[in-house]
Amino acid sequence: MPRGQLKRAALYLRVSTDGQTVENQRMVLLEVAERRGWPVVAIYEDAGISGAGGRDKRPGFDRMLKDAARRRFDVLMVAAVDRLGRSTATVSVALAELAAAGVEPYSHREGMDGTTAYGRAMLNMASVFAELERDLIRDRVKAGLARAKAQGRRLGRPTISGATEAEIRAQLAAGTGVLKVARTLGVGVSTVQRVKGTAAAAATL
């Protein structure tokens, strides 16, 4: 990049489930880019896609790395290093590809950028601890489920009565929106969506 030229920034945004949104990540990173004087030239998104998947399962991630290799931006900004991937290996490979392309990674949560070898090493270490934290959480959840099962507690999503389900179907059939049905009957939005999906599937039989 010629001396004095502004660094071109790209954002990579990812959330693991459809119930989450990338908007908070977008807002924070755009604010940082503006503060640092980095024009944002590209935004890549993978919404509702796990970081455990490879490049073939993450189209935004794949497109971002290809554009990095084409030198289309100088800095890649992420809200946290685990947005790049859920394993240390995935993050390390991504950081290596970005470094080979001359792209500097910036991770907001960790407050780290990859303009130096030290910064890149710290980003790799952050990915190691993020993976460890996920493994510990997973182990605690498994232990909790096993304990609940041993105590005879029923696991899984709570059920609703037949009358409530019938009322949900009736209100949906009358054209009432999912959110309003959920508020009116005091049930979760996911419950209404499940009933709606079941009704739609039955209608196609």
Which residues are known catalytic residues? 16
| Structure tokens that stand for 193 in this block | 């969506």
Q: Where on the phi/psi map is residue 62: left (φ > 0), alpha (ψ -120 to 50), or beta?
A: alpha
> CB-based burial of residue 123 (10 Å sphere; 0-12 exposed, 13-18 middle, 19+ buried)?
buried
C-alpha gyration radius of the chain: 22
Comparing CA positions, the residue from 51, 42, 109, 46 lying closest to residue 75 is 42
CA pair distance 106, 113, nearest whole angstrom: 4
List phi, psi (to 5°) of 161.
-70, 160
CA pair distance 16, 21, nearest whole angstrom: 9
Instruction: Report how far apart, in Å, the C-alpha atoms of 24 and of each of 15, 59, 85, 110 are.
Output: 11, 21, 18, 16
Number of residues that this document lists for the chain: 205
